[in-house]
Chains A and B, each alone.
Chain A
Amino acid sequence: MNKLRMKKSRYVASVLRGASILVLALPVAACDRGGQTWGEMPASEKTVGEQDVKVFSAVEDCAAEADAAACEAARTTALAEHREKAPRFGTPEQCKENYPNCEEVRTSSGGSFFMPAMMGFMMGRMLSGGFGAGGGYGRAAQPVYYGRDGYASTTDRRLGVPNTGTPGGATTVRAPVTAGGDIGTRAATVSRGGFGATSSRFGATS
């Protein structure tokens, strides 16, 4: 048995000099907001480049640059996706917190919910950049929303800040492209307050 337990403690030496710290910081550099270092985000979500995306607010704007029938089809596809997958909110206030333009949707059961208005659509194929099997994107036409944070987004991806300098016609958004061939990074929503309620019922630990 080791009789000699006395030791020189470097910690004790340092605190005896009054060096007591309670608030510490992580190096921020380790976490790149580009998306590739999030906790368990799959490798396919890694950002590999950027791409200019054109967002059309009307079929006419689109037809000025592409085949009119394709533009019409893209808008129809985007609208269907919008109705099915747009972010939904229970109250107009919740929606307006995130998007300046919201619309109410009545359900067949008599209730209603709120979702952002579709501000435009983007076409996959004509924005060719060599991503995905068909030379277009993994997904074709998609609805585009403008958020209060100034970013354009699809139903589940964040694109970038729209170029507001374009008078009429298409709006251009410079958006990240992921290794999986998707345009935009997946938006993260953070909720807090899910811990701590039980401890307040009891108090100290042990």
Chain B
Amino acid sequence: MERIALTPRAGWPAAVEDLGFDWHTTTDERGAPQAYWDESAYWQLTSDEVDNIEAATGELHALCLDAAAHVIAEKDFGLFGLSPSQAELVTTSWARRNEDDLTLYGRFDLAVPGDGSIKMLEYNADTPTGLFEAAVVQWQWLQDRFPDRDQFNSLHEALVARLQDIRLRWQAQDVALDTNRRTELNHLHLTAAAIPEDTGTVGYLAETALEAGFAAKILSPEQIGWAETGAPVNRGAESTGWFVDQDDQPITGLFKLQPWEWLLADTFGDKLLGAAQARHLRLIEPAWKILLANKAILPVLWRLNPGHALLAEAHADRLAFARPLRVVAKPRRGREGANVSIADIDANGDLTGPPLADSGGPYGADGYIYQECVPLASARTEAGDVHAVVGSWIIGDEPRGIGIRESAGLITGNTSRFVPHCFGD
């Protein structure tokens, strides 16, 4: 992987805005504009590197599925912080993973330092973003700049094909179960918070869903309603309800760009749990992804595959490293690189000095896991050193493309820049 500086396309903001990419520039803590999409450079990969990333991603996905199966079979939910009913939902959902509870996508964050090694940093298995940038925006960039080169990116076709597959399998399932929700079987609702990045991502996914034959409708989480039969207030214990959209139409299939644990913690959390458990509501991603999105899966992976070349050593307890090492502490249910810290520990797991980096943030209440600090792809620029993480996408069960995020610090966060890539001559 080589980082090559390049003058941005003249008028690039207008070009990407034409695609619907209106979150290409964000603001820093002081409110100053900060590039999110950054085409002042690109990453050039070799064909072999792309092949290796593709193979590693497929293998890691398989390892993760095995780890989820293990956790469920052994009822090893302790590290995951699930309530008994949540653990039950995850278990049911896993059993239905080829029927109702089908996965659409996930994104591995990989360290690809350039010495031939590839290591998994984490798996964004529930609510990965950066999809539109990877699938569409960097493709446009490639067409404009290097139309004769290649890009590891067949994300759009893969998304449409997978959504079509999901639609048909839901349909078949409805017929098999003979439910009376058949009239809704082509409906897919998509929900995301009113943040440009998130609404942009679901807007793109709604388009792919339409292309896949769904009738798609977007709503905010606040617009989701719960309808109940019977008179208000004193309705009987037998009363059941269902989720409805802003027009009171039933929601039977829901793509959510909201993490499962947030939705479950909300007021409607118990209703969501019940509806998913009772098959009244199908979700993308399905509930079993709760396990893979939780960083507690990292020590499980290491325990099941100790020394695996694609894994960084990870433990729930720092003492388990039993040697002096640089480690990264990650909140089990953290996001966007928040509350991540890096420190050196001795053989007893004690810190040998102040943390080398500490990102701060709102997470961490559920505890941390510790992962060996592994080198990232890096490059020296006029502005200083940059570090890059390769976000490698799984659509369905297949690796279908990458997007590269770059930052000056060691922790890839919300404000890291998206830098396009290509391979071939």
Q: Which residue of B lies closest to A206 (CB)?
A: B335
In the bound assembly, the distance between CA atoms of A43 and B210 in angstroms comes to: 30
User: Would you give the shortest CB distance from B79 to chain A, in whole angstroms?
Assistant: 20
B208 touches A11 (CB 8 A): yes
Question: Would you call B211 an interface residue if the criterion is a C-beta within 8 Å of the partner chain's C-beta atoms?
Answer: yes
CB-defined contacts of A7 to chain B, threshold 8 Å: 154, 157
User: Is A204 at the interface (CB under 8 A from chain B)?
Assistant: yes
Does B383 make an interface contact (CB < 8 A)? no
Known: A25-B217, A204-B335. A12 touches B139 (CB 8 A): yes
Say whether A68 faces chain B, with CB atoms less than 8 Å apart: no
**B222 cross-chain contacts in A, Cβ below 8 A:** 192-193, 195-196
Contact B150 A199, beta carbon cutoff 8 Å: no
Instruction: Check B156 against A40 for contact (C-beta < 8 Å).
Output: no
Contact check: which of A18, A36, A187, A202 meets B262 at CB < 8 Å? A202
* Chain B stretch 175-233: residues in CB contact (< 8 A) with chain A: 179-181, 183-184, 187, 191-193, 195, 197-200, 203, 206-208, 210-211, 215-218, 220-233
What is the CB-to-nearest-CB distance from A155 to chain B, in angstroms, rounded to a whole number?
5
B interface: dominant SS? mixed
Q: List 21 A-B contacts (CB under 8 A).
A: A7-B154, A11-B207, A16-B140, A26-B249, A28-B249, A30-B183, A39-B243, A39-B280, A40-B180, A40-B181, A40-B280, A85-B231, A98-B232, A186-B229, A192-B222, A193-B222, A195-B267, A198-B263, A205-B193, A206-B129, A206-B336
Q: A5-B151, A12-B139, A39-B250 are in contact. Are A194 and B157 (CB under 8 A)?
A: no
Q: Could you say which of A50-58, A86-94, A126-134 contacts chain B?
A: A86-94
CB distance from B49 to the nearest CB of A (A): 12
A182 to chain B minimum Cβ distance, whole angstroms, is 12
Q: Return the 5 tightest CB-CB contacts between A and B, nearest first.
A: A194-B268, A39-B242, A20-B20, A39-B250, A195-B221
- The residue of chain B having its C-beta at the shortest distance from the C-beta of A205 within the complex is B127
Q: Which of B59-67, B251-259, B298-306 contacts A (4 or more CB under 8 A)?
A: B251-259
New contact pairs (5) apart from A12-B143, A191-B226, A205-B129, CB-CB < 8 Å? A10-B211, A85-B231, A202-B262, A205-B127, A205-B259
B122 — nearest CB in chain A belongs to which residue?
A206
Is the Cβ of B335 less than 8 Å from the Cβ of A205? yes
The answer to whether B156 and A87 touch across the interface, beta carbons within 8 angstroms, is: no
B235 neighbours in A (Cβ, 8 Å): 156, 189
- A5 engages B152 (CB within 8 Å): yes
Contact string, B396-421, partner A, CB cutoff 8 A, digits 1/0? 00000100000000000010000000
B248 at the interface (CB under 8 A from A): yes
Q: At the interface, yes or no: B240 with Cβ under 8 Å from chain A?
A: yes
User: CB < 8 Å: which of B218, B227, B243 contacts A24?
Assistant: B218
Binds A, one of B3-11, B50-58, B321-329, B371-379: B50-58
User: Are A155 and B231 within 8 A (Cβ)?
Assistant: yes
Q: Which residues of chain B from 120 to 173 have a CB within 8 Å of any chain A CB?
A: 124, 127-129, 135-136, 139-140, 143, 150-154, 156-157, 160
B47 at the interface (CB under 8 A from A): yes
Does residue A69 face the partner (Cβ distance < 8 Å to B)?
A: no
With a cutoff of 8 Å between Cβ atoms, the chain B residues found around residue A6 in the complex are: 150-151
Give A residues with C-beta under 8 Å from B. Answer: 1, 3-7, 9-12, 15-16, 18, 20-28, 30-31, 36-43, 85-90, 98, 153, 155-156, 186-206
A24/B198 in contact, CB under 8 A: no
Q: How far is the CA of A195 from the CA of B245 in the complex (A)?
A: 12
Q: Are A206 and B128 in contact (CB under 8 A)?
A: yes
Contact pick for A5, options B135, B154, B215, B248, CB 8 Å? B154
A12 to B107 alpha-carbon distance, docked (Å): 21
Bound Cα distance A16, B259 (Å): 31
**Does B18 interact with chain A (Cβ within 8 Å)?**
yes
Q: Beyond A190-B248, A206-B335, is A27–B267 a contact (Cβ under 8 Å)?
A: no
Chain A residue numbers with a CB within 8 Å of B347 are none
Q: Mark B234-246, 1 if CB is under 8 A from A, else 0.
A: 1110001011100
Q: When the two chains form their complex, are residues A205 and B140 in contact, meaning their CB atoms are under 8 A apart?
A: no
CA A39 to CA B252, docked complex, whole Å? 7
Across the interface, do A26 and B225 meet the contact criterion of CB distance under 8 Å? no
Complex CA distance for A15 and B218, rounded to whole angstroms: 19
One of B179, B230, B266 near A198 (C-beta < 8 A): B266
Chain A residues near B223 (CB, 8 Å)?
192
B residues near A191, Cβ cutoff 8 Å: 225-226, 228
- State the CA gap A26–B210 with chains docked (Å): 10
Residues of A within 8 A of B129 (CB): 204-206
Give complex CA distance A11, B187 in Å.
21
Is there a chain A Cβ closer than 8 Å to B320's Cβ?
A: no
Report the bound CA distance from A187 to B50 in whole Å: 58
- Picked from B135, B240, B266, the residue with its CB within 8 Å of the CB of A194 is B266
Please determine whether A43 and B180 come into contact, CB atoms closer than 8 angstroms: yes
CA distance in complex: A40, B183 (Å): 11
